[in-house]
Amino acid sequence: MVYLTRKAEFSASHYYHNPDFSPEENLRLFGKCNNPNGHGHNYTLEVTVKGEVDQRSGFVVDLKKLKDIMNREVLDAMDHRFLNKEVPEFFNSIPTTENLAIAVWQRLQPKLQQARLHRVRVYETPDLFVDFYGEE
Amino acid sequence: MHAHLTRRYRFSSSHRLHSAAMSAEENRETYGKCNNPHGHGHNYALEVTVSGPVDRSTGMVCNLVDLDECVSKEVLSRYDLENLNHLQEFAVTVPTTENLCIEIFEILQRAFPHAHLERVRLEETMMNSFEYTGSNPARR
């Protein structure tokens, strides 16, 4: 089994808010991240797929195809967007790094044919990242 | 949905690698320059990985404020700008980064109740890193 990781970057804004909580509870839980005007990050996305090496091509996956899938399914939707207002997954859920990693997985997994999705890693900042390995 | 969250921290410490169980020659041979009598220092990078279900109401595995407070209080305040050899836990145990990893893992496992501790990883330099997962199988 060989693991291949492709990186991409995107810039997006978001804020954290649960409409079921009071304003005080939202502020207590989320602090400055609760500002409804949002704030931004340069996210780094790492998509790791796994599979056996194809004898003819020497590839685990055709990188061009993986890149196209990532662009089409994730980056076009999220890059330079306000996540809460423009990405459907976040109309009713909080765009934390955890939920972002899960959303990216759910967008990519059905579209990958050659290799299996092993891990989605999302860096919100260089010092904070989340790994999602699919439903356990 | 189960996710793994990793947070990075930094601290600077000095240490000297020397074992009382070895002769001076053996220490020199085993540890090389790390055995120099006055010690040396590192800017360590610490990665703490916790895991758990993503809470439906907050979207989080755990609140970062809780994790940061715990790591700051239990680890960073203990090790930052310190000489590791002068600390009680390294009075006998050699303060290699392996042993420091294990020590930090055990401290956080006791002190942080909000999520499952998966892994502690330490970068000693840009070239060397160490990780300890306790009894967990390592997740790649």
Domain count of chain A? 1
Q: Which of A3, A109, A130 to mutate to test the interface with B (most CBs of B within 10 A)?
A: A130
Q: Is A80 a catalytic residue?
A: yes
Chain A contact for B28 (CB, 8 A cutoff): no
**How many other CB atoms sit within 10 Å of the CB of residue B111?**
13
Contact A130 B8 (CB under 8 A): no
Which of A9, A14, A33, A41 is catalytic? The answer is A33
Confirm whether B8 is domain-assigned.
yes
ipTM score for this prediction: 0.88
* Torsion angle in degrees (nearest 10) through CA of B112, B113, B114, B118: 70
Q: Pick from A104, A120, A29, A46: which is nearest to A72 by CA?
A: A104
Residue B53, domain member (yes or no)? yes
- Give residue B22's pLDDT: 92
Digit-by-digit pLDDT tens for chain B (140 residues) are 999 999 999 999 999 999 999 999 999 999 999 999 999 999 999 999 999 999 999 999 999 999 999 999 999 999 999 999 999 999 999 999 999 999 999 999 999 999 999 999 999 999 899 999 997 666 66
How many structural domains does chain B have?
1
pLDDT at B138: 64
Confirm whether B37 is domain-assigned.
Answer: yes
Question: Do the Cβ atoms of A98 and B140 come within 8 Å?
Answer: no
Q: Is the Cβ–Cβ distance between B109 and B134 less than 8 Å? A: yes
Q: What is the pLDDT of residue A8?
A: 96
pLDDT of the residue at B15: 95
What's the CA gap between A24 and A31, in Å, rounded? Answer: 10
A41 flagged as catalytic:
no
Q: Is the pLDDT of residue A115 over 90?
A: no
- Answer yes or no: is B139 within a domain: no
Q: Which of B5, B57, B64 sits opposite A18 (nearest CB)?
A: B57
pTM listed for this prediction: 0.91
Please report the beta strands in A15-70, taking only residues with DSSP state E, as ranges in sequence order: 39-51
| Residue B54 to residue A98, Cβ atoms within 8 A | yes
CB contact (8 A) between residue B8 and residue A20? no
For residue B140, tell me if it sits in a domain. no
Q: Which domain holds residue B118?
A: 2-132
Is B89:B96 a contact under the CB 8 Å cutoff? no
Tell me: pLDDT of A55 over 90: no
Q: How far is CA B126 from CA A43, A52, B42, B45, B129, in A?
A: 23, 31, 10, 9, 8
Residue B122 is part of a domain; what is its CATH number? 3.30.479.10
CATH of the domain at A72: 3.30.479.10
For residue A60, the enclosing domain spans 2-132
Strand partners, B3: B52
pLDDT digits (tens, 9 = 90+) for B85-112: 999 999 999 999 999 999 999 999 999 9
